[in-house]
Amino acid sequence: MIIGYICKYTPIKLLESMGIECVRIEPAYIDNGIAEAHMHPNVCTYVKGVLTEVFKGGYDGIILVNCCDSVMRLYDVMKNAEKDKMIYMLDLPRKSGDQSVAMYASEIRKLIQTFTDFYGKKFNAHDFIRYISTEQENAGQFNMPKGNEGIRLAIMGARCNSSLIDLLKKAGADEVLNYTCTGDLLNYMPLPDFSAREQDIIEWYAGSLIRSIPCMRMADIDRRRDMLKDIMANVNGIVYHTIKFCEFYSYEYSYIKDNYRFPILKIETDFTQGSEGQLITRIGAFVESLKGSNNKAERPSHGTRKTIVAGIDSGSLSTDVVILDEDCNILSYSIVPTGASIVDSANKAFSQSLKRAGIAPQDVSFIVSTGYGRINIPFANKQVTEITCHGKGAYFLNSNIRTIIDIGGQDSKVIRLDEDGNVVDFVMNDRCSAGTGRFLEVMAKALEIPLEKMGEEAEKATEDINITSICTVFAESEVISLIAQNKKRADIIKGLHNSVASKTIGLLDRLGRKGAYMMTGGVAKNRGVVDAIEQRIGNKVHIPAEPQMVGALGAAILALQEIKVKQVK
């Protein structure tokens, strides 16, 4: 018998002592057909994922806890759809006093009776005590782990699956401590005597559950805040996880951000496939900032052989390569469309750069790759996120830069540098392509104008048009509607540029405005977008000669620094 559960307050140890296998439901994805047929679009995406997982089968029964409105809607749906299974809802108190413990103990007794009636399972209090004693001997109590070498991250916030823990490690964390609902944060109170009454044993267990580290739906969260100082003393940074449409946890993130000067990164997941690339970029950049680095491009000491390095930026629309010598001189660069194969485009761009520099592949001592495709370039020696690389490249070009606005093919970023050029903070857009190069590319096709001509065409505008839709698909429909109204193409393009600028300023204001500014990425070649951004911030934005190459340049500078480190060792 397999019983699925989702909440840490579920009395699973008691059920396991009755011979029942309890499995925490970890949804990997959402089946939109199932979700849309049974639930409102604004219901928490985690709950939709749980529904998908349950409908796949494999569970004999489900135990839920009324921790939020979305879970209660989940209960309603499953109770109606899974009539042959036991679907049970526990009523969890929001406080942790004696009356709350007594109330939850009563709930647990009702659950035991349901299992007895439904499955014929009997509860034996002394078997339960023996089971808990064995568990404690094998696992020990929860204690705050002490710091070791390497980057240690704490993940807090909404519940996270093991796949997210694996992603944090893939992005560069050496160790991850889980302080979400799925982490092992339960400290049992002293075990009752074997001679204790069954009622007292159940109340003891209810108290241990209720008085564990509280989740954000509980009334008294002081123990969570007390735990913060211990966490910060033992980790390098906090990754704060939220789930789309979850109501509870953003408040705690704001509290930590406003009251502690401690590295923290907020991420949001929605249990849809395809978000891993951006998450790895954000988490990887966060880890790189924790490791610390000197952004100044120092020239490595060398012997008679000239040191040559390369940086490769594998983006969604283009793949860029920069080749540097040991004195940070750019020997060559190339830009090719990424197309359908990351490896093929990287090989093509690298070959073009080698040919232009007049060197062979074996002359390149070290290669750093960056961008969304960085981990799939087989001949790169090291992978670094584009956030770090853009910081390196921008600071190398202009050491006065404090804010980088990078608008690439599929995302937008705002990056903050300190006076030494180190990345100190950054924000990225969501997975939506609005306000990116892809957005403008789609609109260029609708308007039948080459993408590179849009900036020039916008200078002819005579009427202000507002593009109100932020979604690329809806904005395209709005553009088609404007064309049908016989609006001038130049006026529409200017409206599109203002839309991109507004989206970008929204990102910038989340980080805070601080000059001097530099804009990177292919969209920086569009003078209309640049003008619209400059008007809104009231400041000049520096545009490099080749704004698409800044990431690859930063990667090459990092390659030079790697050579220096190896020579020192």
Alpha helices in 512-546 (DSSP H): 527-537
- H or E element that contains 73: helix 69-81
Q: Residue 486 pLDDT > 90, yes or no?
A: no
Q: What is the pLDDT of residues 394-422, one digit of tens each?
A: 999 999 999 999 988 778 899 999 999 99
**Cα-Cα-Cα-Cα dihedral sign, residues 47, 50, 56, 58:** negative
Higher pLDDT, 480 or 568: 480
Q: Rounded to whole angstroms, what are the CA distances from 311 to 307, 324, 375, 555, 566?
A: 14, 8, 13, 4, 18
Rounded to whole angstroms, the Cα distance separating 369 from 383 reads 5
How much is the mean pLDDT over the chain? Answer: 86
Q: What is the pLDDT of residues 78-115, one digit of tens each?
A: 999 888 889 999 999 999 889 999 999 999 999 999 99
Quick one: tokens of 131? 């089971």
Instruction: For each of the domains in the chain, give its residue range(s) and CATH number, in order of start.
Output: 2-139 (3.40.50.11890), 152-181+200-291 (3.40.50.11900), 308-399+551-568 (3.30.420.40), 404-544 (3.30.420.40)
Q: Residue 189 pLDDT > 80, yes or no?
A: no
**Cα-Cα-Cα-Cα dihedral sign, residues 73, 75, 78, 80:** negative
Higher pLDDT, 452 or 53: 53
Rounded to whole angstroms, the Cα distance separating 122 from 475 reads 61
Q: What is the pLDDT of residues 535-556, one digit of tens each?
A: 999 999 999 999 999 999 999 9
Q: What is the pLDDT of residue 302?
A: 43
Q: Residue 305 pLDDT > 60, yes or no?
A: no
User: Mean pLDDT over residues 284-306, rounded?
Assistant: 61
Contact call for residues 294 and 565 (beta carbons, < 8 A): no
Q: Rounded to whole angstroms, what are the CA distances from 509 to 258, 411, 537?
A: 16, 17, 10
Contact call for residues 155 and 169 (beta carbons, < 8 A): no
Higher pLDDT, 516 or 172: 516
Terminal C-alpha separation, the chain:
58
Alpha helices in 86-211 (DSSP H): 98-119, 125-139, 162-170, 198-210
Q: Rounded to whole angstroms, what are the CA distances from 156 to 181, 216, 278?
A: 9, 11, 19
- H or E element that contains 354: helix 342-357
Q: What is the pLDDT of residue 140?
A: 46
Quick one: tokens of 463? 């009427």
Q: Which of 328, 491, 338 is nearest to 408 (CA)?
A: 338
Quick one: tokens of 318? 């283009």
Q: Which of 559, 269, 225 is nearest to 430 (CA)?
A: 269
Contacts for 23 with CB less than 8 Å, ≥ 6 apart: 2, 3, 4, 5, 59
Q: Which of 311, 347, 301, 305 is nearest to 331 (CA)?
A: 311
pLDDT band at residue 280 under the 50/70/90 scheme: confident
Rounded to whole angstroms, the Cα distance separating 108 from 334 reads 67
Q: What is the pLDDT of residue 23?
A: 94
Helix/strand/coil for 64: strand
Q: Residue 150 pLDDT > 90, yes or no?
A: no
Q: Rounded to whole angstroms, what are the CA distances from 118 to 24, 83, 135?
A: 21, 13, 27
Quick one: tokens of 92? 């969890």
Using alpha carbons only, how large is the chain's radius of gyration in Å?
28
pLDDT band at residue 296 under the 50/70/90 scheme: very low
Q: What is the pLDDT of residue 569?
A: 53
Q: Residue 299 pLDDT > 50, yes or no?
A: no
Q: What is the pLDDT of residues 351-381, one digit of tens each?
A: 999 999 999 888 999 999 999 888 889 999 9
Helix/strand/coil for 542: strand
**Cα-Cα-Cα-Cα dihedral sign, residues 333, 547, 426, 342:** negative
Percent of the chain with pLDDT over 70: 90
Q: What is the DSSP letter of 42?
A: T
Q: Residue 256 pLDDT > 70, yes or no?
A: yes
| Number of neighbouring beta carbons within 10 Å of residue 149 | 7
pLDDT band at residue 432 under the 50/70/90 scheme: low
Of the listed ranges 186-195, 307-316, 521-530, the least confidently predicted one is 186-195
Q: Which of 28, 32, 54, 57 is nearest to 43 (CA)?
A: 32
pLDDT band at residue 239 under the 50/70/90 scheme: very high
